[in-house]
Amino acid sequence: MDVKDRILIVEDDRSIRNFFRTILEANRYDVTLAENGQEGYSLITSLCPDLVILDLGLPDLDGMEILRRVREWSSLPVVVISARSHERDKVEALDLGADDYITKPFGTPEMLARIRAAIRHSRLPLQTGGGRSGTFAAKGLLIDYDKHRAYIGGQDIGLTQNEFKLVGLLGKYAGKVLTYDFLIREIWGPNMENNNRILRVNMANIRRKMEKNPAQPEYIFTEIGVGYRMVEPDEERSEQ
Ligand code: CA
C-alpha cells in the first residue's frame, strides 16, 4: 500500500485533534485537521477524504447537521465522536448515516479498528439484501453464506434460520455496530420494530451456541443501548 488513506478530523478541542493526528500519522494515514464545522464541511467537499472523524459538539455547526448535509450527496465513511453515555446521540448519528462512533476516552486499538472497518466497508461492492455468497471467517468462526450454516472449529453450531440471518448480517458488516432497530427490521420486518425482546432472545440463543462463555463473548459484542457488533474478520486474503 503506497497511497495513504486521507482522514479529515473535524474537532474543536485542540488536544483531541492533536491526539488523533499523532496516532493516525503513526499508523500511516494522511491527516487533515479542521477546528470548526464550517471549515470541516468545506474541506469535506474540496478534499474528498477517505474518512471523516466528526465531533458532534462543535461551536458553529452541529455535527449532526454536517452529517445530514454530507449524506445528501455522499456516502463517504463518517465516524462520529460521542460521549460514552450518550446512547441516543449514537443511535441518531447511525440513523443519519454515520458509519460508526468512537467514545471518549479513546482506546487506540479500538479506534483504529473502527476506522479500518469503516474504510473497508466503503470499498465493498454494493450488496443487495441477503444474496451474498461466500464466507466470513474470524477466530475459528466460519459463516458459509451459500449453505446458510455457521461453524465453530469446523463444527456446525446448528443455528435456526433467523439466528443464521442475524449472524450472517452481523458478519456482512463485521467490525461495525448494527442498531437494534436495523437488525429487527432486516430480520423480522417493519412491524416488529421496537420489539427488542425478540432480538434479545435470539441473541441469547446464538451466544449459547457460539460462545464459550456467553457472558464474555468473543464473536458478537453488545454495544449497550445501541446494538451489536461482530468481531473483525481474520486478516483479509489480499484484494478480492
Ligand atoms: Ca467538541
pTM beyond 0.75: the answer is yes
Q: What are the angstrom distances between the C-alpha of 45 and each of 39, 42, 76, 118? A: 10, 5, 11, 19
Give the confidence band of 131 by pLDDT, cuts at 50, 70, 90.
very low
pLDDT attached to residue 104: 82
Ligand 1 geometric centre to CA of 107 (Å)? 18
Name the grid cell of 52.
Answer: 471523516
How many A from CA of 19 to the centre of ligand 1?
Answer: 14
Per-residue pLDDT at 137: 95
Q: What is the pLDDT of residue 238?
A: 42
Q: What is the pLDDT of residue 221?
A: 96
* Nearest to 99, CA basis, from 54, 165, 166: 54
Range with lowest mean pLDDT among 25-34, 116-125, 168-177, 231-240: 231-240
> What is the full DSSP assignment across 104-167?
ESPPHHHHHHHHHHHHHHHHSPPP-TT---SEEEETTEEEETTTTEEEETTEE----HHHHHHH
Average pLDDT rounded to a whole number, residues 165-181:
94
CB 140, CB 133: distance < 8 Å: no
Task: Give me the chain's average pLDDT, please.
Answer: 91
Q: How confident is the model at residue 127 (pLDDT cuts 50, 70, 90)?
A: very low
Residue 130 has pLDDT above 70, yes or no: no
- Each residue's pLDDT tens digit, 34-74: 999 999 999 999 999 999 999 999 999 999 999 999 999 99
> How far apart are the two ends of the chain, measured CA to CA in Å?
15
pLDDT digits (tens, 9 = 90+) for 195-240: 889 999 999 999 999 999 988 999 999 999 999 999 998 875 444 3
| Side chain identity at residue 159, one-letter code | L
Q: What is the rounded average pLDDT of the residues 137-166?
A: 96
* Confidence at 125, pLDDT banded by 50, 70, 90: low
Q: How far is the CA of 189 from the centre of ligand 1 (A)?
A: 37
The rounded Å distance from CA 11 to ligand 1 centre is 6
Distance 100 CA to ligand 1 centre (A): 17
Q: What separation in Å is there between the alpha carbon of 178 and the centre of ligand 1?
A: 25
**Dist. CA 116 → ligand 1 center (Å):** 23
Q: Ligand 1: distance of its center to the CA of 227 in Å?
A: 25
Q: How far is the CA of 14 from the centre of ligand 1 (A)?
A: 9
For residue 121, the model assigns a pLDDT of 86
Q: Using the 8-state DSSP alphabet, how is residue 231 labeled? A: P
What separation in Å is there between the alpha carbon of 113 and the centre of ligand 1? 22
Give the position of cell 451459500: 146
Q: In this predicted model, what pLDDT tens digit does every residue of 2-42 receive, in sequence order?
A: 689 999 999 999 999 999 999 999 999 999 999 999 999 99
